[in-house]
Structure 1
């Protein structure tokens, strides 16, 4: 008989007897401590926000910083909350070990609860409302006017704590609809500003073969498209596809995309269009038909050459995928596979100009993958390439060879501005590794495997 006994953790079961009641009491105590800590974190976030008021200008070691460089004041919360200085969220993010976007949301929620939802904030401090629920109300009412938010706060008093997430969202929406006096037609018009289609790749730890597409648009258009997707899914089932209807709907998107790419739409070009306009439209249609998906594949050359079954590679922006899946994608769609070889180091070359040539820029992007600010996940391919040591024009005494893979690092526009304004500084300690220093002696080490806070005290 196989033993199924488990060894208890002595630090957890520090009881006279490891009874079920005792463990539940400890669990309840932990929950109470976590709630109290979450409320205290909101208090700290609020104090941090109001201790960083808006400033009109700043002086750095290189002289005064223009407001356009320093960054505009940031109104993180809704109407009625005080604005804060640019880059207020970054030190808090590094101190907490969270993404700058998460720190920004924490500051915004703290400001809203104090200034726009005072009743809810009092109930949260008293422990009758979980912090996550209070923060959800703050986020969902951020676009309302101050008067509307205060009205929602009064109307939902005493009801938030007992509601589920879905019920809470319905209550907020109902209260907001009752107080918001905007004309419905104006809302319908303003809704167009939110129309968009976004492709999001899941967390690489969940596998790189599944992504999400989110569409916001005209109700009629999206309903018609959904009907077409369902019809294609039913057709796949009739042809013998044994997957579930939900999976077939996802696969139907590829069928529709392939059919759309093969359509000849040149007949839709108006007869009154000039020859130049007709030629321009035809070029765009050809580009659409010949469009390819480009994948940057990091994989062992031996696995690629041998065609090893089950071998795994990493695709930029997606994460780990099997080479078998890559071959399947290449076999049924227009996919360009760009192999990536030896991008951990730096080629010993440089140029005497500010902007790097395409090959150098590509090397830096592939080496780092994302913005190298602590815990920032902004893709390097959509970031600025920053000179770690500020570039000096050769006409003004700058040395030759200032632009090289060793001297460049990707920074998103926000963190590029933070570095330019001397709010933060960093140095490169190895290929793909950067040591950052910020306000209050905050220090963090960014490596190819993640970010680590560094204690300097």
Structure 2
């Protein structure tokens, strides 16, 4: 078995004495090498995709059933591209040292460029278009029909390298309107299914005190809300807040949230036009009570933070102490105290265990205390390079659970035999495409197709190589 860890370091070029023109020449050479490598990676991805076609039932009946056919095939690219066997992306992800989602995108882009954007693919191979830009076109046209994608390919021939991203997006929209013929009303109707408000926590390396919120909804509603935010930001400025207007807009969200929390929401039921007990005698009184209860619960909603910090730091009155909040990353304790002062925040005590306890239960599902211990030990899915949070993952039995009624031994559910796996990689393990074993607390050795192996540790993932 070869190991990537033993690969010798490339020769380091001394640039200290290079001239200005020499540095520019080497920068250009480096860019050319990177472009060529990126194109070659797309070629590899395409060959990997077509090497894993969907196997039909007739073929499996004549030979051994491959692990991948135990799951439904996956269509990664747009219409007109071939489907691939389930879990095709995972071995490529491990070999490249990237997240499975990134490998899936790489395969999809390679399939689209070959089958839906042939002119763009030729220009990309010739070095006329940067790979990142070609992949952007592939991703943006993925939902279009094959004819619409080919229309974009024809009308961007020779222009992708010079077109701005906004211009490319406009061409994609034009193709959808001209070729696919979807009416504007249908688009508006389908767009409503995408309405959502999402809270995104930033890279923990940048600290956990700043997050992002992204809203997709009715244009009028969002415009009105943005106007309210801007008006509140202007009011803050008039009251002496000297932060930049953009910063005041972000702070205005907290002001609006505080004002909302102070509202007597139950009074909304007695406003003109609203249902009241007296005016709507035919309304079930229990229903009115339930509505009021839900409004109160929404007003009194709590925020739960899982804070990892030293008890001494928490009790000491010292500034600058740092703790870690799950999903947020490092946050100063001063910031935590400020949050507690303005919202109902529940601090969940966290017990750090040096090693797995030996306790076990004689049932499949672990008790909440055991599940919490596993989640605290492994913060994300333990598949190589997967970052899916363990709190939203399945807890898998590393050694498969056997029903005690059918001869299974007692005590199979224990922290040392549980590991968090996201639903996709739980399926990959169950289907037999991948196997893994636990070598130490928080450390797992994975083996996949073609004998590729990787080890996941608390500090990261390392690809060990392939036995083939």
Q: TM-score range by the shorter chain?
A: over 0.9
2:362 is equivalent to residue 352 of structure 1: yes
Map 1:21-420 onto structure 2 (within 5 A): 21-56=21-56, 70-269=70-269, 270=275, 271=280, 272-420=282-430
Report the TM-score when normalising by structure 2: 0.90
Cα deviations by residue, 1:381-406 (Å, 9 ceiling, x for unpaired): 11000000110010001111111111
CA separation in 1, counterparts of 2:395 and 2:348? 21
CA separation in 1, counterparts of 2:135 and 2:122? 13
Cα deviations by residue, 1:90-130 (Å, 9 ceiling, x for unpaired): 00000000000000000000000000000000100111000
Which position in structure 2 is the counterpart of 1:444?
A: 454
Give secondary structure in 1 for the equivalent of 2:193: helix
- 8 A Cα contact 1:299 1:339, kept in partner: no
CA separation in 1, counterparts of 2:243 and 2:165? 32
Q: More displaced, 213-222 or 361-370? A: 361-370
CA separation in 1, counterparts of 2:395 and 2:296? 32
- 8 A Cα contact 1:344 1:431, kept in partner: no
Report the TM-score when normalising by structure 1: 0.92
What stretches of structure 2 of length at least 5 have no aligned partner?
1-9, 270-274
C-alpha deviation, 1:166, in angstroms: 3.4
Name segments (4+ residues, structure 1) moved above 4 Å: 56-59, 63-67
Alignment CA distance shift 1:352-1:144 (3 Å): same
C-alpha deviation, 1:169, in angstroms: 2.9
Corresponding residue pairs, total: 444
Aligned Cα root-mean-square deviation (Å): 2.2
- 8 A Cα contact 1:344 1:432, kept in partner: no
CA separation in 1, counterparts of 2:452 and 2:65? 23
Cα deviations by residue, 1:273-297 (Å, 9 ceiling, x for unpaired): 3133223222212221221111101
CA separation in 2, counterparts of 1:314 and 1:322? 8
Ranked by relative contact order (alpha carbons within 8 Å, sequence separation 6 or more), the top structure is 2
Q: More displaced, 352-361 or 261-270? A: 261-270
Give secondary structure in 2 for the equivalent of 1:128: coil
Which position in structure 2 is the counterpart of 1:11?
A: 12
Cα deviations by residue, 1:251-287 (Å, 9 ceiling, x for unpaired): 1111212222232232444334313322322221222
CA separation in 2, counterparts of 1:157 and 1:455? 40
CA separation in 1, counterparts of 2:14 and 2:19? 9
C-alpha deviation, 1:337, in angstroms: 1.3
What stretches of structure 1 of length at least 5 have no aligned partner?
1-8
